[in-house]
Amino acid sequence: MIWRTGDQCWLRYLDRTVRAEVSLASGNGRSLMLRFEAVVDGHVGSMPVLMDADGVFRSLVTEEEVTLCPVT
């Protein structure tokens, strides 16, 4: 899935899942800024993520894996 600005998603990070919104997305969907109402491992309200060469999103701050699932 290519994520676009305004998309709603579930963000899974370490042992936490929160509802988030893509507040900014690059044209190819590999670089995202996610916004949420929580503190997640030091990310206060937002998290920049980048897709690595294996297609896995990772936090730019911690390099931990981030899983995104669409809200249905």
Distance between CA atoms of 52 and 55, rounded to whole angstroms? 5
pLDDT over threshold 90, residue 1? no
pLDDT over threshold 90, residue 72? no
Q: Which residues make Cβ contacts (< 8 Å) with residue 33, sequence separation at least 6? A: 22, 23, 24, 25, 46, 47, 48, 49
Distance between CA atoms of 7 and 31, rounded to whole angstroms? 14
Calculate the average pLDDT of the chain: 96
pTM confidence score: 0.92
Instruction: Please give the pLDDT value at position 63.
Output: 94
Instruction: Please give the pLDDT value at position 47.
Output: 97
Amino acid at 17: T
User: What's the average model confidence in pLDDT over 39-53?
Assistant: 95
Q: Would you say how long the chain is, in residues?
A: 72
Q: Measured in whole angstroms, how far is the alpha carbon of residue 13 from the centre of its chain?
A: 9
